[in-house]
Amino acid sequence: MDERSTGLHSIGDAMGRHAQDIDALWDVMLWVCGFMYLLVVGFLLLALFRRGPRRDINDHTQAHEERGLSASLATWTGLIALGLFGLTLFSYFTDRSLVQAAADAQIAIKITGHQWWWEIEYTDPNDPSRQLRTANELHLPVGTPVKISLESRDVIHSFWVPSLHGKQDLIPGRDNDIEILADKEGVYRGICAEFCGLQHSKMHLDVVVESKDGYSAWYERQLQAASPPSDPLAERGHGVFMATACNMCHTISGTDAGGSTGPDLTHVASRRFIAAGALQNHRDNMRAWLANPQAIKPGNHMPIVSLSADQLDALTAYLGTLQ
Amino acid sequence: MSANATEGTHDGEWLDERETRWRLDRTWSQGRGWLAALSTVDHKQVAKRYFVTAFVFFFLAGVLALLMRLQLSRAENALIGPDLYNQLFTMHGSTMMFLFAVPIMEGLAVYFVPLMCGTRAIAFPRLNAFSYWVYLFGGIMLWVAFALNIGPDAGWFAYTPLSGPEYSPGKRVDFWAQMITFTELSGLAVAIEIVATIFKQRAPGMALNRMPLFLWSMLVMAFMILFAMPSVMLASTFLIMDRLVGTHFFNAAEGGDALLWQHLFWFFGHPEVYIIFIPALGIVSAVVSAFTRRPIFGYPFMVLALIAIGFLGFGLWVHHMFTTGLPRLGSSFYTAASMVIAIPSGIQIYCWIATMWQGKPRFATPLLFVVGFILVFVIGGLTGVMLASVPMDLQLHDTYFVVAHFHYVLIGGAVFPLLAGTYFWYPKVTGRMLSERLGKWNFWTLFIGFNIAFFPMHYLGLAGMPRRVYTYGQGLGWDSLNLVSTVGAVLVAISILILIVNLVRSRKHGEMAGANPWDAPTLEWATPSPPPTYNFRHIPLVASADPLWQHREQLPVMRGLSVDKRELVLTTVLDAKPDVREPVAKPSIWPFISAIAVGAMFIASIFTPWAVIFGSIPAAIAITVWFWPKGAPPPDEEESEP
């Protein structure tokens, strides 16, 4: 797997505290259940192919054997009960530890689910001006507990980054949250895990876990407004963005574009993917996306805006400057 | 108690065997021609329609599954777009659950419960005909909608608000919701018939503790239907009202609650799994007993296990909702409840294997499918234990691990037993044996194909692949196992084709079966294959749990039922002592007409709420004619002979 392109996305690659706890539980479950399965298969094969006396309906002299089988039924039932009791306890304590960690979260983030992308807001309780809004790419400092509150504007979505933690649903009218604590730097992939309509399949999320310094630097960069385009092509692209439908739905801070229906594009060029993981973020892909988003992600809410080839080139160049 | 000289009674005269048959045939005749075909109330005739209809839906839904597997066979495949794909999995799930799995079990009950009870007809035979027609119309409506590209696309679970008026405009979800109304109405009617037949029409002497386990399982299934299905009918009615008349049951913005849907749906949805699985347990018990030539070991434990599963099945629904943010401590109780259900299931598995241990297994196709059932289902049960744990479920929920899990449970726990039952009972229904050679091919291709198709999905789920995605990107490492899975699915399809060939060919060319080809112990084998319309020439008397093994030569019978009137004997609930003679309804076209009227009302109400008012008029008229008192005198009870 090319980690640079898509990031880790597996329950087995547990890189967060919670995912590791669950992974440990999985190991126990696998061993206990595997053992029980072997017992059943062994008993079944023995029962079918054993040698020795067998009896059918005409033979009523089997009282002794009945007793033996009844005793082992009791043993079997006891074994199942014991196994289940053990697993239930283990599961319970794992669950407690997952929940308890929520107390000491240091960063508060709000994620809002949309059909079919993720809106991400960082808030600073001490300084409202340091609020940050981005989309589809979550940056976190390593080793820091983070509390994410989850909301939805439309249908039910589910936040899931398997390498970091299990799922939590985003439900309209309900306040859910999840805490994650990433142990290792790296890129982890998330995906919406509750069927949410046409493009449920293409609703990815990247989680970039960086050193604390790297995270702070990213945060400061993201706080800046977009710098005005310098080269003429990009400048023309800026004009296209403002003159066509783009600015109705998207925000680019530092400009007049203030729409809130689609993702914030202030630093869109800094993101690894476009369209919630549908395409890698480079010039050709961006141009293809702008030309016809419906071909790449059919049914998504971004309309086809008819632009000439020149306009497309210019717009692509402009968006490419939004680092 | 030999039946050579004297046979039935007719106005006090004794009739010989030929005369008895002739008169019974005349009395119970269903008539000929298309009108008679629409009017029949013979439970076997109706059940055969259930079998064929449900199998057709099984086949169609299987084709959809194959299409989905083709689409997923490689990354970024462009074969099927999201709009069609979402319809495909919605139709696949809805059809398999509502139009195949439950109806086929109901059909099995409709055919075999009266025969195993040793009675002449099902209770409420006209209601039985009505419920089949309602089921058929509901299924046709859904598939016609799909064929017109207005098939539902919000999943078989239709979570709100995605399925609500705002996010699923158009009529797609309405067809789904109305299909629920059809099939659940039909299911509730069948459940009532089964409970009444088992409680009141068992052959004299078949006390509850002598009832075959198959009857017990059908009884538990019927009670589960009665308690579970109203919940989903309520939910789907709320949904239709939200969509059609602007109520806000599920709209959080107006004080409704999106999660209410999930509670109502899963309070039905989880028992639904057991509604499918419990009859399968009954099939397995019947097959194991017949093919080891032993009564099932631990009969009382088996009965208690069935009842325990029936009760516990209602206490687990929240384990479908662990990720919705419900209070975590409370969720832990549902973990415990979900795990507890492994105990009765484990007891059942043990008792079957113990029966094989004691007896002399005969490796005919039905027993092969039972062995396949144990090997496959136990894996599904164990992954179920994993999913019952809240932390595990947080990771595994809505991934392909769950897809693997419930296909191991449902194909392993229901389709394998159903095929065992098919090979076991086909001779009874048609009079001819299925080919054993094709049967073995059928088994091995299914067993191997199924495992190739579904085992890799466990790994895909662990590797992070979510359910209900129409495509996935390259570089996630999911490509090769998805391709393997698709190859397995093709093998499963081949297996089903072998089954179809076997079913069709054996109908004409199979070996003649005779009344009891497997030397099985229960009453359905005490009458010719296929059984006459009146089921039994004389009502058998039962003195043990395995009547045909106890009385090898001649089953003791009860006399005294008229050969010139349709009637049967009712017995007491616990001990099955003869109680009264009960007249049985004659064929009637009105159940069919009522079903059309009710169906028209349901379908029209998708388009306008006024249909409920105006549509109820023809329905009321049809049902009134159906139930119009005939003025027949009550049966004379003194006449019945001890």
Q: What is the ipTM of this complex?
A: 0.95
Residue A164 belongs to some domain of the structure: yes
Residue A298 sits at φ, ψ, to 5 deg, of -55, 135
Amino acid type, B117: C
Q: What is the pLDDT of residue B17?
A: 85
Residues B154 and B229: their CA atoms lie apart, in Å, by 20
Last residue of a domain, one of A44, A78, A101: A101
| Six token digits for residue A169 | 């649903």
Residues A266-281, mean pLDDT to the nearest whole number: 93
- The stretch A300-319 carries a mean pLDDT of 94
Q: Name the domain boundary from A73, A101, A129.
A: A101
Chain A, 120-149: which have a CB under 8 Å from a chain B CB? none
CA A321 to chain B, closest CA, distance in angstroms equals 27
Q: Which CATH number do you get for residue A296?
A: 2.60.40.420
Residue B192 tokens read as: 């009532």
Kindly state whether residues A142 and A197 are assigned to the same domain. Answer: yes
A256, A277: one domain: yes
CB atoms within 10 A of CB A239: 15
**What are the phi and psi torsion angles at A149 (to 5°)?**
-95, 140
- Domain, as residue range, for A313: 232-319
Of A72, A73, A88, the CB nearest to B339: A88
pLDDT score, position A102? 56
Q: Residue B162 and residue A155: Cβ atoms within 8 Å?
A: yes
Please tell me whether residues A95 and A128 are part of one structural domain. Answer: no
Looking at the fold, whether A95 and A149 belong to one and the same domain comes out as no
DSSP reduced 3-state for A307: coil
B358 Cβ partners below 8 Å, 6+ apart?
Answer: A54, A55, A62, A65, A69, B292, B294, B297
β-pair partners for A109: A122, A148
Distant-in-sequence, close-in-space partners of B250: CB < 8 Å, separation ≥ 6: B160, B161, B164, B238, B239, B242, B256, B257, B258, B260, B261
- Write out the two tokens for B28: 């119970």
Strand partners, A177: A149
B window 52-91, beta carbon within 8 A of A: 81-83, 86
- State phi, psi for B505 to the nearest 5 degrees: -65, -45
Measure Cα distances from B140 to A319, B105, B641 in Å. Answer: 52, 19, 48
- A4 lies in a domain? no
Q: Do B343 and A84 touch (CB under 8 A)?
A: yes
**Residue A2 forms part of a structural domain:** no
Distances (CA, A) of A80 to A43, A254, B52, B324, B381: 15, 65, 40, 30, 12
Both A264 and A203 in one domain: the answer is: no
Give the angle subtended at the CA of B321 by the CAs of B315 and B322, to the nearest 5°: 100
The band of A103, judged by pLDDT with boundaries at 50, 70 and 90, is low
Judged by a CB distance cut-off of 8 A, whether residue B455 touches chain A is: no
Higher-scoring residue by pLDDT: B334, A7: B334
**Interface test with chain B among A40, A114, A148, by most B beta carbons within 10 Å:** A40
Euclidean distance between CA atoms A273 and A5, whole angstroms? 9
Same domain for A85 and A123?
no
Q: What residues of chain B score a pLDDT lower than 70?
A: 1-13, 631-642
Considering the domain architecture, whether residues A283 and A267 belong to the same structural domain is answered as yes
List the 285-304 stretch of A: residues with Cβ below 8 A of B: 298-299
Choose the closest CB to A11 out of B292, B356, B395.
Answer: B395
State CA A289 to chain mean position distance: 23
Count of domains forming chain A: 3
- Give the number of other Cβ atoms within 10 Å of residue A225's Cβ: 11
What are the two backbone dihedrals, phi and then psi, of residue B540, each rounded to the nearest 5 degrees? Answer: -70, 155
Q: Which residues of A touch B389 (CB under 8 A)?
A: 25, 29, 87-88, 91, 94-95
Closest-CA residue of chain B to A198: B82
In angstroms, the CA B558 to CA B32 distance is 31
Residue A3 lies in a domain: no
Which chain A residue has the Cα nearest residue B288? Answer: A48
The answer to whether residues A183 and A213 belong to one domain is: yes
Task: Give the Cβ contact number of residue B510 at 10 Å.
Answer: 18
Q: Which position has the token pair 């329609």?
A: B49
Give domain status of residue A122, yes or no: yes
Of the candidates A157, A158, A29, A178, the residue with the CA atom closest to the CA atom of residue A99: A178
pLDDT of residue B364: 96
Q: Is residue A5 part of a domain?
A: no
The tokens 């070991």 sit on which residue?
B297
pTM metric for this prediction: 0.95
Alpha helices by DSSP H, listed for B30-165, are 33-39, 43-72, 82-94, 102-117, 125-147
Interface test with B, best of A6, A54, A161 (most B CBs within 10 A): A54
Q: Is the Cβ pair B335, A91 closer than 8 Å?
A: yes
CA dihedral B51, B52, B53, B58 (to 10 degrees): 80
Q: Choose the final residue of a domain: A70, A101, A132.
A: A101
> How far apart, in whole angstroms, are the C-alpha atoms of residue B627 and residue B190?
18
- Could you tell me if B532 lies within 8 Å of chain A, comparing CB atoms? no
The answer to whether residue A196 sits within a structural domain is yes
Q: How far apart are CA B249 and CA B233, in angstroms?
A: 14
Q: Would residue A174 count as lying in a domain?
A: yes
Interchain CB contact of B148 with A (< 8 Å): no
* Partner A, chain B 3-22, Cβ-Cβ below 8 Å: none
pLDDT at B67: 97
Find which of B90, B284, B323, B472 to mutate to test the A interface (most A CBs within 10 Å of its CB): B323
Q: Does A284 touch chain B (CB under 8 A)?
A: no
Q: Same domain, yes or no, for A70 and A28?
A: yes
CB contact under 8 A, B466 and A191: yes
Residue B447: name the closest of B494, B400, B503, B383 by CA. Answer: B494
The neighbouring-strand residues paired with A159 are A168
pLDDT at A64 over 90: no
CA torsion, ordered B21, B27, B31, B37, to nearest 10 deg: -100
Task: Tell me if B162 and A92 make a contact (CB, 8 A cut-off).
Answer: no
Hey, are the CB atoms on A44 and B374 less than 8 Å from each other?
A: yes
Helices and strands counted in chain B (H then E): 21, 6
Residue A24 at interface with chain B, using a CB cutoff of 8 Å: no
The confidence score (pLDDT) of residue B631 equals 62
If you search the block for the tokens 């105006």, which residue do you land on? Answer: B614
Q: Which of B469, B472, B482, B544 to mutate to test the interface with A (most CBs of A within 10 A)?
A: B469
* Pair A211, A288 in one domain: no
Using the 8-state DSSP alphabet, how is residue A323 labeled?
A: -
Q: What residues of chain B, 546 to 605, have a C-beta less than 8 Å from chain A? A: 546, 549
Q: Which of B556, B575, B518 is nearest to B210 (CA)?
A: B575
Residues A200 and A118 occupy one common structural domain = yes
Closest CA to A9 of B466, B456, B403: B466
Same domain assignment for residues A76 and A168: no
Per the CB < 8 Å rule, is B332 touching A87? no
Q: Within B293-327, where are the H helices? A: 299-312
